[in-house]
């Protein structure tokens, strides 16, 4: 099917400010038109005209998709589908499911990097760095147990591990990966309740690094990532946290 024919699956939206409706409409267009990875999307101006919204609204929606790795823009050539898009068949909103699937792709990359950085940190950390990792783990778990916002303490804990690896590029890459995945303001993946089940496992990671046991440290980081992945899949499947 041509990209022009795909436009026939769009209808003007009644509310011109409903960005979520635009995203849902685009996802439905992709699915109903049978567009697959590598296919080019219709031009922004055509999408805007078919939905009855401004071109800036379409651009904002596509920017959101680009941040999730769903599309890839080629300057002077167009916008291409880079990931599978399927509308939600359950009570879970389509964009939440697409965010979750993008997060799972990100976690796949993180797992490869985290396994290596944790092993190197366990092998190369100084006594002072091991003590700092243990201290920061105490701070993190205290924040979680008290119900305080834990994000700053979590970043500090993991950054200490990245520093202990002896290669600062690990930390830069992992932080940039996390920032590259754009999440909506009301996304369940942005809430403090997301990921809580993985925090008790951080103690195992810190203890393994302090004990200089690389195999146990790698096993611990994988259990942490498994816990987060399980939670993402639960949200996608039944709307947990929504």
- Which distant-in-sequence residues (6+ apart) come within 8 Å of 149 by Cβ? 143, 192
The pLDDT, as a whole number, for residue 16 is 41
Higher pLDDT, 89 or 81: 81
CATH numbers and ranges of domains, the chain:
3-81 (1.10.10.10), 94-238 (1.20.120.530)
Q: How far apart are CA 4 and CA 7, in angstroms?
A: 6
H or E segment and range at residue 71: strand 71-74
Per-residue tokens: 229: 């992945």
Lowest pLDDT segment from 4-18, 59-73, 134-148: 4-18
Per-residue tokens: 180: 């590259």
Q: For the residues 47-59, what does the mean pLDDT come to?
A: 91
Residue 5 contacts residue 32 (beta carbons within 8 Å): no
pLDDT tens digits, one per residue of 177-202: 877 676 666 788 888 889 999 999 99
CB atoms within 10 A of CB 1: 12
């Amino acid at each position: 099917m041509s990209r022009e024919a795909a436009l026939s699956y769009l209808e003007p939206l009644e509310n011109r400010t409903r960005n979520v409706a635009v995203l849902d409409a685009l996802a439905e267009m992709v699915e109903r038109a049978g567009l697959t990875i590598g296919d080019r999307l219709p031009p922004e101006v055509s999408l805007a005209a078919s939905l009855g919204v401004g071109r800036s609204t379409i651009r904002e929606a596509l920017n959101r998709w680009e941040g999730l790795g769903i599309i890839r823009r080629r300057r002077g050539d167009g916008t291409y589908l880079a990931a599978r898009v399927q509308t939600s068949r359950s009570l879970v909103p389509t964009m939440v499911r697409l965010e979750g699937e993008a997060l799972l792709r990100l976690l796949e990359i993180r797992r490869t990097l985290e396994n290596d950085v944790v092993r190197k940190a366990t092998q190369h950390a100084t006594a002072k760095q091991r003590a700092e990792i243990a201290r920061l783990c105490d701070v993190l778990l205290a924040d979680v147990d008290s119900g305080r916002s834990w994000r700053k303490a979590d970043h500090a804990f993991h950054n200490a591990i990245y520093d202990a690896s002896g290669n600062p590029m690990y930390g830069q890459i992992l932080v940039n990966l996390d920032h590259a995945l754009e999440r909506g303001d009301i996304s369940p993946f942005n809430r403090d309740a997301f990921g809580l089940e993985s925090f008790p496992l951080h103690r195992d990671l810190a203890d393994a690094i302090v004990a200089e046991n690389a195999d146990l440290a790698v096993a611990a980081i994988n259990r942490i990532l498994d816990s987060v992945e399980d939670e993402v899949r639960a949200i996608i499947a039944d709307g947990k946290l929504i």
